[in-house]
């Protein structure tokens, strides 16, 4: 019996490719049964003088069976051929006409379009009722009417219901297959999103750890380099050498302890404590100024300007530390000026130093930019603002943080937009 739902398509393939064994089987069976019935003289009488065409039944039956075989090429056309040949066979008295009418209804319901299938299914039922009722009015015999009704039911209603059940089953299977495919696709998309989120978190964690390692190692190693350089430049100054060695040892021990803390963080997942406060800034500056660097630090924060947020203090401490590191590396012969003040509800930190041109015309304040990127990232995370610029042979940077900390990124973006084009000293932090 038919296996596929008919789908019209442009450029239909060759007829041979549309032949199916399940269509060839019924056609051959109908030919065999019809031949057997004629051989046993079990055919009906011809109607209305069509007996003269009785010998043509094999040709008519062959055309109808060929339409059964080719019905996947174009279901409506083949169904029309089946209906025509079936009616002709019935008129010339061949029982094979019932088979072709049966297959016509089956083909339209199973392989036709949605509308054609529904009309055929309902039409078969209506036509059966009309035939039975009409026969009763014509003959007045209930027995003949019931007999015709049963024959019409087997020829019209049964193939329609059979094909409808097959069609519904296949549509349900197709719907379930699409649902399963959609579920699989959704699961794959969800897994991809989870992988992307995992990768994003891993990248963020690596960035945070890289920033922490940079801050720890660069601060300690820079201090050690400064102290050892001062000792080497004054080999006869015993007091300076002793002080330098003490500082080198202290920085080394603190650096090792900080690295151990970070290793414990990686192993146990315990968050790091905020590194440094504003109270630690003078000692930090003394570490660098003790080696001969010219550093000026002005803290204009009033006693009432208490910064309760530990992360804000830690961010300012690390920013000052990074400024000292960059100054000691790139402009140790210049003068560094740092100021800390309150601006509305924000803490305003600025640092500036002179930049000298070398013999080849390049500026002395050059590096990888890792420290500046770290400062910008920390300020952004705290809802603050960071900027740096070099004008008139002077490098200046600005860090502004909310006193309470934790402003949204939108506030930082708004502040950055409003500060465009303003000198660093006049820029305002996000409100």
Q: Helix/strand/coil (H, E, C) string of the chain?
A: CCCCCCCCCCCCCCHHHHCCHHHHHHHHHHHHHHHHHHHCCCCCCCCCCHHHHHHHHHHHHHHHHHHHHCCCCCHHHHHHHHHHHHHHHHHCCCCHHHHHHHHHHHHHHHHCCHHHHHHHHHHHHHHHHHHHHHHHHHHCCHHHHHHHHHHHHHHHHHHHHHHHHHHHHHHHHHHHHHHHHHHHHHHHHHHHHHHHHHHHHHHHHHHHHHHHHHHHHHHHHHHHHHHHHHHHHCCCCHHHHHHHHHHHHHHHHHHHHHHHHHHHHHHHCCCCCCCCCHHHHHHHHHHHHCCCCEEEEEECCCCCCCCCCHHHHHHHHHHHHHHHHHHHHHCCCCEEEEEEEEECCEEEEEEEEECCECCCCCECCCCCCHHHHHHHHHHHHCCCEEEEEEECCEEEEEEEEECCCCCCHHHHHHHHHHCCCCCHHHCCCCC
Q: Can you give the pLDDT at residue 124?
A: 92
Q: Residue 268's pLDDT band (boundaries 50, 70, 90)?
A: low
Looking at the whole model, is its pTM more than 0.85? no
Residue 240 has pLDDT above 90, yes or no: no
- Mean local confidence (pLDDT), 148-170: 92
Q: Residue 288's pLDDT band (boundaries 50, 70, 90)?
A: confident
pLDDT tens digits for 90-132?
A: 888 888 889 999 999 999 999 988 999 999 999 999 999 999 9
Q: Can you give the pLDDT at residue 357?
A: 65
> Are 336 and 353 spatial neighbours (Cβ–Cβ below 8 Å)?
yes
Residue 4 has pLDDT above 60, yes or no: no
Q: Mean pLDDT highest for which of 122-126, 216-220, 275-279, 323-327?
A: 122-126
Q: Can you give the pLDDT at residue 419?
A: 45
Q: Residue 407's pLDDT band (boundaries 50, 70, 90)?
A: very low
pLDDT above 70: percentage of residues in the chain: 79
Mean pLDDT, the chain, rounded, equals 79
Q: Can you give the pLDDT at residue 128?
A: 92
Residues in the chain: 431
Q: Can you give the pLDDT at residue 23?
A: 85
């Amino acid at each position: 019996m038919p296996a596929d739902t008919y789908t019209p398509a442009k450029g239909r393939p060759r007829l041979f490719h549309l032949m199916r064994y399940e269509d060839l089987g019924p056609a051959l069976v109908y030919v065999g049964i019809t031949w057997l019935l004629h051989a046993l003289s079990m055919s009906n009488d011809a109607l209305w003088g069509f007996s003269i065409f009785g010998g043509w039944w094999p040709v008519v039956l062959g055309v109808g069976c060929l339409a059964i075989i080719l019905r996947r090429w174009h279901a409506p056309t083949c169904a029309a051929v089946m209906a025509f040949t079936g009616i002709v066979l019935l008129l010339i008295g061949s029982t094979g006409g019932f088979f072709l009418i049966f297959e016509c209804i089956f083909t339209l319901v199973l392989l036709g379009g949605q509308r054609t299938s529904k009309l055929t299914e309902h039409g078969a039922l209506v036509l059966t009722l009309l035939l039975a009722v009409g026969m009763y009015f014509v003959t007045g015999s209930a027995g003949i009417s019931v007999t015709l009704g049963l024959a019409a039911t087997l020829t019209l209603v049964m193939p329609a219901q059979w094909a409808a059940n097959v069609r519904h089953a296949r549509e349900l299977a197709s719907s379930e297959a699409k649902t399963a495919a959609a579920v699989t696709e959704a699961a794959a998309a969800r897994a991809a999103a989870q992988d992307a989120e995992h990768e994003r978190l891993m990248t963020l964690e690596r960035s945070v750890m890289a920033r922490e390692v940079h801050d720890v190692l660069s601060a300690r190693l820079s201090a050690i380099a400064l102290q050892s350089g001062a000792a080497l430049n004054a080999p006869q100054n015993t007091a300076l050498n002793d002080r330098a060695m003490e500082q080198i040892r202290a920085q080394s021990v603190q650096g090792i302890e900080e690295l151990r803390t970070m290793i414990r963080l990686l192993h146990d997942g315990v968050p790091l404590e905020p590194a440094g406060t504003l109270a630690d800034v003078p000692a930090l500056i003394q570490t660098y100024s003790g080696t001969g660097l010219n550093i000026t630090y002005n803290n204009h924060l009033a006693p009432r300007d208490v910064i309760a947020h530990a992360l804000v203090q830690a961010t300012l401490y690390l920013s000052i530390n990074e400024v000292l590191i960059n100054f000691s590396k790139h402009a140790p012969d210049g003068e560094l000026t740092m100021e800390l003040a309150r601006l509305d509800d924000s803490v305003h930190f600025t640092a500036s130093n002179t930049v000298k041109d070398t013999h080849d015309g390049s500026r002395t304040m050059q590096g990888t930019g890792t420290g500046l990127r770290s400062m910008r990232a920390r300020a952004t995370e705290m809802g603050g603002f960071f900027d740096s610029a070099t004008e008139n042979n002077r490098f200046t940077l600005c860090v502004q943080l909310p006193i309470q900390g934790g402003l949204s990124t939108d506030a930082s973006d708004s502040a950055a937009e409003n500060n465009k084009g303003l000198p660093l000293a006049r820029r305002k932090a996000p409100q």
